[in-house]
Amino acid sequence: MNAQKIKAIALKDLKEVRQNKAAWLPALIVPLVFAIALPVFFISFPVFLPSGTLSNDDVQEIRQLIELMPNQLADFFSGLNMEQTWVVYSTGYMLAPMFLIMPLMFSTIVGAESFVGEKERKTLEALLYSAATDAELFLGKILAGVVPAVVLSWISYLVYAVVVNATSYSLMGRIWFPLDSWWPLMFWLTPAFSVLGISATVMVSSRAKTFMEAYQISASLVVLVLGLVAGQISGVLYLGVWTSLLIGAAIWLIDGILLVISIGIFNRQKLIARIT
């Protein structure tokens, strides 16, 4: 397998995605919402209440959710007043799994563009007749989706950390974010979900007729993340360090299986037959 050919295919795809506003514009808007708007809203929320504090119902609900947390997570709330507890709970725990939408979204956008975009631009046939093997062609397109998805996600995490600490500093009196549970989320789950999104999307893209069709089919993977969001908010599941490591291991295993299957069923001769 030739690493240079894989790199060349990936760089070509990245250049073409940059020229497609429909592909990269959402990649700029969503991080602004997740990394800036949401934390500012949740941290500022107690200030806008008439009494300056949370209602009794809110207090009781948050306390019940904290009691359901594993001890190592619940201990962080010890000694915090109710406003501080709300800030840590909402920005440190409740919003955490939502950030996994970004690597999925970024990678599926590039993946959907990979084959269908080339079909629409009439450039796919030349690529399929290139000297690259099927595996090199497929892995090049995987790389083109994973790298920007992970990098953009990490930039979003950095911006989120700065916004959370800056906005809540007057209330918390210290820099407290990120929590321990965010490290495996950033460096273990984020790459795993990026590979999951791109590998599934490239496989779908090789069979879809339009960019939007490929993107919409692949976007269904977001249901996995929404399940984690629901579990975190309801108290059924918390993305602590060990939970994130276990979920990440399962996703990486699925990634490996999916990559093997995808490369195995990828057939450039069938693609050539569809476009000729």
Q: In this predicted model, what pLDDT tens digit does every residue of 29-72 receive, in sequence order? A: 888 888 999 999 999 876 665 554 555 666 667 777 777 676 66
Number of CB atoms found within 10 A of residue 95's CB: 20
* Comparison of pLDDT for 49 and 232, the residue scoring more: 232
pLDDT score, position 230: 80
Across residues 67-87, what is the average pLDDT?
A: 77
Q: What is the pLDDT of residues 86-128, one digit of tens each?
A: 888 889 988 888 888 888 888 877 777 666 666 666 666 566 6
The pLDDT score that the predictor gives to residue 224 is 79
Q: Domains of the chain: which residue ranges?
A: 3-275
pLDDT at 158: 95
Contact 142, 199 (CB under 8 A): yes
DSSP three-state, residue 238: coil
Statement: residue 191 has pLDDT above 60: yes
Q: What is the pLDDT of residues 8-34, one digit of tens each?
A: 878 877 777 777 666 667 667 888 888
CA distances, 167 to each of 96, 99, 163, 231 (Å): 17, 19, 6, 27
> Which pTM value belongs to this model?
0.83
User: Cα(138)–Cα(266) distance, rounded to whole angstroms?
Assistant: 8
pLDDT at position 55 is: 57
Assess contact for 74 and 17: CB atoms under 8 A.
no
Token readout for 262 is 């995808």
Q: With beta carbons less than 8 A apart as the criterion, state whether 89 and 66 touch.
A: yes
**16 contacts: CB under 8 Å, gap ≥ 6:** 113, 117, 118, 121
- 239 near 96, Cβ under 8 Å? yes
pLDDT digits (tens, 9 = 90+) for 141-180: 888 888 888 998 999 999 999 999 999 999 899 999 999 8
Residue 52, pLDDT score: 47
Tokens of 145: 């989706």
